[in-house]
Structure 1
Amino acid sequence: MKVLTTLAERDYFLGFAALLNSMARHGTYVDKVIVGYREALPEWLPALEPSTHGKTFVTPGGLEVELVELDGSLHMVHEKPKWFRHVSEVLAPEAEEYFFFDSDIVINTRMDFFGEWVQEGVAICGDVNFIFDRTHPVRKKWASIARAGGKTITNEIDGYYNSGFLGWTKETKSFITDWNDAFALLAPYSGDMNEFRVFDRTATVLSTNQDSLNLAAMMTDQPISLIGPEAMGFIYGMRLMHHPIGPKPWTRSFTKEFLNGKPPREADLIFWENINGPELSPLPAGKVNKMLRLCKTLRFGGRYYKSLA
């Protein structure tokens, strides 16, 4: 069995709809989707039935989606290592392949590529702030903390990696334990983990979940397979997915931001192309078509004004 998992709350379920539709448009590949959620579920979801661990529905394409209430009060991003362990050990221990995508990601490539990738090692993508040398003073602090905690640094890594995607297998899932161990090591340096971030990059920890992912990659004895920031669409190249940084596409006031010099991003356009689709359609078609036209018009205008600059 192959499992895709994500985390969602409040309006991030709109992102989940786009994620699910984009996956279906690229071959689905997985057998089941498991969503960790908090707070109320959106009313536009299909009719839900009780499941072993929560609630479930089946998409028009025949894909089972199970919604499991998240046990934890940290900021959602910091719940990732614990959630992945729960998925691997409790919710789907029989799975052979696991894929996590943040619920604001849209997939751009064939889904079976992710299956090929994960056979080469734990699959991880570069962050937008990718340059992070193995001799970086903060990375050296992480290594010292790990060694003081009885861990061994097994991998010298250049680059900083994003926690918005992760792929692992039944054979490599001890990496999830490594991530939880790294998280525990860095937590005392993190500040208030009800916040996304507290400090800046000069501190030992900027974002606990993401820094600990990077430390786990340094500590693990499992094979890892790394692709740079192009994988998430942060730079040109192998754009496997689009991961919007900053304001999410469903929150942006495109016309106002355009007048302030910020035209819609490619990630915004791709989101609106996928928000309604073969598996979920949470918004009225008229609204979606209007937003698509607006994004395309303002992106064209943005190129024009840029050419005058």
Structure 2
Amino acid sequence: MKILTTLAERDYFLGLAALLNSVVAQGTHIDKVIVGYREALPDWLPPLQNSQHGKSFSTPSGLQVELVELNGSLHMVHEKPKWFLHVTETLAPDASEYYFFDSDIVVNSRMSFYGEWARQGIALCGDVNFHFHRYHPIRKQWAAIARAQGREVVNELDEYYNSGFLGWTRETKQFIHDWNDAFAMLSPHSGDMNQFRVFDRTAVVLSTNQDSLNLAAMITEQPISPIGPEAMGFIYGLRLMHHPIGPKPWTRNFIPEFFAGRPPREADLIFWQHVNGSELQPVSAGKVQWMEAQLKMLRFGGRFYKSI
């Protein structure tokens, strides 16, 4: 069994809809989706049934989706390592492949490629701030913290990875334990983990979940298989997915932002093209048509208009 997992709360369920619609449009590959959620479920979901670990529904294509209430009070991003361990060891211990996508991502490429990728090693995507030298003073401090806990650096890395996507297999699931270990090492240096981040990059920890992912990549003995920031659409190249940084596409007020010099991003348009699809339709068809037309017009205008 191949598992896709994600985390969602509040309006991020709109992102979940776009993610699932894009996954099925790209050939599915996976057998089941496990969603860790907090707070109320949206009323536009299909009828729910009780499941072994929570609630579930099936999409029109037959994709099984299980909704499992998240047990944790940290900012959602910092729940990732613990959640992945729960998925791997408790919710789906017999799965052969696991994929995590942030619930604001839209998949642009065939899903079967993700299987080919994860079978080469832990599938990682470069962050927007990709270059992070092995001798960077912050990375050297991470290494010292790890050594103090009895862990040595196995991989000398010059890249920094984004925690919005991860792929692993039954054979490489030890990496999830390594990430949880790294998270425990860095969390005392993080500040308030009810916040996305507290400090800036001059601190030992900028964002615990993502810095600990990168420390895990340094100390793990599992093979890793990274692709650069082009994988998430941060730069041109092999755009396997679109991952919008900053304001999410469903929160932006595009016309005022356009005149303030911030035209819509490609990721904004891609989201509105997938928020309604074959599996889920959380938004009225009229609104989707208007948003698509608006974004195409503003993106065209952005070629000529620049704020001063």
Identify whether the pair has TM-score above 0.5, normalized to the shorter chain.
yes
User: Take 1:255 and 1:55, find their aligned partners in 2: how far apart are those partners?
Assistant: 39
Q: Deviations over 1:139-177 (max 9, x none)?
A: 000000000001111000011100000000000000000
Q: Following TM superposition, by how much is the alpha carbon of 1:131 offset from its aligned partner in structure 2, in angstroms?
A: 1.3
Say whether 1:54 aligns with 2:54: yes
Q: Does 1:68 align with 2:68?
A: yes
2:149 alignment partner in structure 1? 149
Distance between the aligned counterparts of 1:131 and 1:98, measured in 2? Answer: 27
Matches within 5 A, 1:1-309: 1-306=1-306
Q: Tell me the distance in 1 between the aligned counterparts of 2:302 and 2:64.
A: 41
SS of the residue aligned with 2:195? Answer: coil
Q: Deviations over 1:62-81 (max 9, x none)?
A: 00000000000000000000
The secondary structure found in structure 2 opposite 1:127 is strand
- In structure 2, the residue corresponding to 1:130 is in which secondary structure? strand
Letter of the 1:297 counterpart: M
Which whole-Å CA distance do the structure 2 matches of 1:258 and 1:30 have between them?
38
Whole-Å separation in 2 of the counterparts to 1:294 and 1:254 = 8
Q: Equivalents in 2 of 1:234, 1:96: separation in Å?
A: 30
Using the size of structure 2 for normalisation, the TM-score is 0.99
CA distance in 2, matches of 1:192, 1:220: 27
What is the letter of the counterpart of residue 14 of structure 1? L
CA deviation digits over 1:74-117, x for unaligned, max 9? 00000000000000000000000000000000000000000000
RMSD (Å) for aligned C-alpha atoms: 0.9
SS where residue 176 of structure 2 aligns?
helix
Q: 1:121 is matched by which residue type in structure 2?
A: G
Mapped to 2, the partners of 1:169 and 1:187 lie a distance apart of 26
Question: 1:210: how far off?
Answer: 0.1
TM-score scaled to structure 1, two decimals?
Answer: 0.99
Q: Secondary structure at the match of 1:160?
A: strand
CA distance in structure 1 between the partners assigned to 2:280 and 2:49 by the alignment:
17
Q: Any unmatched runs of 5+ in structure 2?
A: none
Identity fraction in percent: 74
Distance 2:104 2:183 in 1: 23
Offset at 1:24? 0.6
Q: What stretches of structure 1 move > 2 A for 4+ residues in a row?
A: none
Q: Which amino acid aligns with 1:117?
A: W
Structure 1 position 304, deviation (Å): 1.9
